[in-house]
Amino acid sequence: MTAKKNRLQSIGAKARAVPLFWWWVAFLLIPITFGLVSGLWVFYKGLGVTNLTDGAPWGLWIVLDLSCIGLAAGAFSLSAMTYLLGRKEYQPLARIAVFIGLLGYSGALMCLILDIGRPDRFWHGWVYWNIHSMLWEVTMCITLYFSVLALEVFPMVVELPLFNRFKRLQHFGHSVHHFAPVLAVIGMCLSLLHQSSLGGTYGVVVGRASLFRATMPLLFIVSAVASGMAFSVHMTLIVQWLKKRTLVPLSVLFEVGQMAGAILLVYLYMRFWDTTVGNYGYSPGRTEAFTSLMSGSFAISFWSWEIILGGLLAAYLLIRARQAQSVAMLLIGSGLTMGGLVANRLHTTLLAFTEPLTESPAVTSPLVSHYFPAWTEIGTGIGIVAGLTLIFSLGMRYLPAYQGEPVEIPEEAVAPTVSAVPVPAGD
């Protein structure tokens, strides 16, 4: 028995002469190259190489941007819980969430740079203010919050042995770390502002009936908090499984998952009444749009991804997982929540541009656009996601803050109890 085990181990060691991790990095470099090529092509040729039109001026990049920011919401909500509500046991999870947040906002900024027609004028938002514009508010908040996240991640990066030669940088990192609660407050304020303003960006569009809803900011922020927290849990579980180390105690993951599930239920409740009340009777444009969402061309994707899988089932799994002490339920539930958020942002965006603008006093105009992303948009989208995954993988592998406890979860325990995982006594 032991001999067999030893032999297996030695085979494993030989097979890992080139560690699996580097195969993973090499695999990621393929889509990253593809993304770089298509990104440069977009910058060189302009937005004419996309499938965006005057009728559907926003597309895949905006969906990706909204999804990245939504999924990054775990950073502010978990930081706020750690530093403002004093739940110190959440700190390891908040650290991972902050790293995910930084990557999410980097992705969002990359999408926006690709999406604007004049990338050379990206700085105009900071210089020429239009304080009435939701998008201006979002621009300011995103860039400011990106700096806050960078400051929060900075102390963890300078802990790398690479920076041992730069003692002053490390000292600066330590002093920044002392201001973590302050950063959490600033981050929470900025996030509460722009997560809802992203919904507001759509909500103020008076001419597009399916978007023009006062509930949009609320729906956006509540769904972002639920899936942001779930996404942090999801990624932590995957990292722990791959590293065979405990970064965050399972009890914390179960607790946060349950919270995310509860918030998701609140969101579904709000969404139910928003849709029901909004569709009571006929309002031009809006009724047509919601009909195509619920029983038209969007119906299958809407009901399956947004409501059943990404909504009800996800909430059930997240809430039930803690009681059942089932890691699988937590993993699937949090993954589905993430899918639900992406589906929601996708449907909201596409629906807005396929509904007709009523041009004539009597007749709805033929301005119904069709949109499917071009290879340039898909290529850059995949490239951005792969790039973020690569940086996430590298960070989880090398950053000292994410090394966790060298404890293997006993294999015989299908549902490990809290006591099986020693809680770190402190640094």
Partner 1 sequence: MSTPTRTREMTRREFILLAAGMGISLFGADRLYKWFVAHEDPLGEAAHSEINKNGPYWAMVIDLQTCIGCRRCVYACQATNDTANGHLWNILLEDEDTFAKPVFITRPCMHCEHAPCVEVCPVQATFHREDGLVAMDYDRCIGCRYCMVACPYGVRVFNWEENDGENPQVPTWGEPEVPRRPRGVVEKCTFCAHRLDKAEERGLIPGKDPAATPACCVICPTEARVFGDLRDPSSPASLKLAGRQSVVLRSDLGTNPRVFYLLPNEQA
Q: Which amino acid is located at 85 in the chain? A: L
Spatial CA neighbour of 344 closest among 316, 295, 310, 382: 310
What number of H helices and E strands is found in the chain? 16, 0
To partner 1, the closest distance from the beta carbon of 309 in angstroms equals 29
Which residue number, 366 or 406, has a Cβ lying nearer to partner 1?
366
Spatial CA neighbour of 183 closest among 68, 70, 79, 73: 79
To partner 1, the closest distance from the beta carbon of 325 in angstroms equals 47
Phi, psi angles (nearest 5°) of residue 246: -100, 110
Which residue number, 127 or 425, has a Cβ lying nearer to partner 1?
127
Task: Kindly indicate which of the ranges 29-37, 76-84, 103-111, 118-126 contains the residues binding partner 1, using the contact rule CB under 8 A.
Answer: 118-126
The separation between CA 374 and the C-alpha centre of its own chain, rounded to angstroms, equals 23
- List the one residue from 17, 18, 362, 425 that touches partner 1 (CB under 8 A): 362
Total of chain residues touching partner 1, rule CB under 8 A? 46
73/263 Cα distance (integer angstroms): 13
Hey, which residues does 301 pair with through a beta bridge?
A: none
Which residue number, 199 or 228, has a Cβ lying nearer to partner 1?
199
179/413 Cα distance (integer angstroms): 40
Which residue number, 198 or 307, has a Cβ lying nearer to partner 1?
198
CA angle 277, 279, 281 (to 5 degrees): 100
Task: Kindly indicate which of the ranges 141-149, 261-269, 301-309, 360-368 contains the residues binding partner 1, using the contact rule CB under 8 A.
Answer: 360-368
- List the one residue from 12, 361, 406, 426 that touches partner 1 (CB under 8 A): 361
The separation between CA 150 and the C-alpha centre of its own chain, rounded to angstroms, equals 16
To partner 1, the closest distance from the beta carbon of 173 in angstroms equals 34
Residues 123-162 that bind partner 1 (CB under 8 A): 124-125, 127-130, 132-136, 139
Q: Which amino acid is located at 386 in the chain? A: A
329/260 Cα distance (integer angstroms): 13
Which residue number, 190 or 229, has a Cβ lying nearer to partner 1?
190
To partner 1, the closest distance from the beta carbon of 415 in angstroms equals 49
Give yes or no for residue 169 binding partner 1 (CB under 8 A). Answer: no
Q: Which run of H or of E encompasses 263?
A: helix 250-278
Which residue number, 133 or 251, has a Cβ lying nearer to partner 1?
133
66/70 Cα distance (integer angstroms): 6
To partner 1, the closest distance from the beta carbon of 123 in angstroms equals 9
Determine if residue 326 is left, alpha or beta; phi over 0 gives left, psi from -120 to 50 gives alpha, anything else beta: beta
Task: Kindly indicate which of the ranges 115-123, 239-247, 289-297, 316-324 contains the residues binding partner 1, using the contact rule CB under 8 A.
Answer: 115-123
Task: Kindly indicate which of the ranges 33-41, 42-50, 242-250, 410-418 contains the residues binding partner 1, using the contact rule CB under 8 A.
Answer: 42-50
Give yes or no for residue 239 binding partner 1 (CB under 8 A). Answer: no
How many residues does this entry show for the chain? 427
Q: Which run of H or of E encompasses 160?
A: none
Which residue number, 66 or 332, has a Cβ lying nearer to partner 1?
66
Residues 197-226 that bind partner 1 (CB under 8 A): 201, 204-208
Give yes or no for residue 367 binding partner 1 (CB under 8 A). Answer: yes
Which residue number, 128 or 282, has a Cβ lying nearer to partner 1?
128
Which residue number, 135 or 266, has a Cβ lying nearer to partner 1?
135
**With 0-12 CB in 10 A as exposed, 13-18 as middle and 19+ as buried, what is 329?**
buried
Which residue number, 142 or 386, has a Cβ lying nearer to partner 1?
142
**Secondary structure letter of residue 373 according to DSSP:** -
Q: At what angle do helices 375-398 and 20-45 cross, to 10 degrees?
A: 140
To partner 1, the closest distance from the beta carbon of 289 in angstroms equals 14
Neighbours of 208 (CB within 10 A): 17
Which residue number, 77 or 380, has a Cβ lying nearer to partner 1?
380
**Site track 50-79 with partner 1 (rule: CB under 8 A), x = hit:** x-x-xx-xx---------------------
Q: Where are the alpha helices (DSSP H) in 279-398?
A: 286-294, 299-301, 314-324, 327-354, 375-398
- List the one residue from 276, 363, 408, 426 that touches partner 1 (CB under 8 A): 363
Contact residues toward partner 1 (CB under 8 A) are 45-48, 50, 52, 54-55, 57-58, 112, 115-118, 121-122, 124-125, 127-130, 132-136, 139, 201, 204-208, 352, 357-363, 365-367
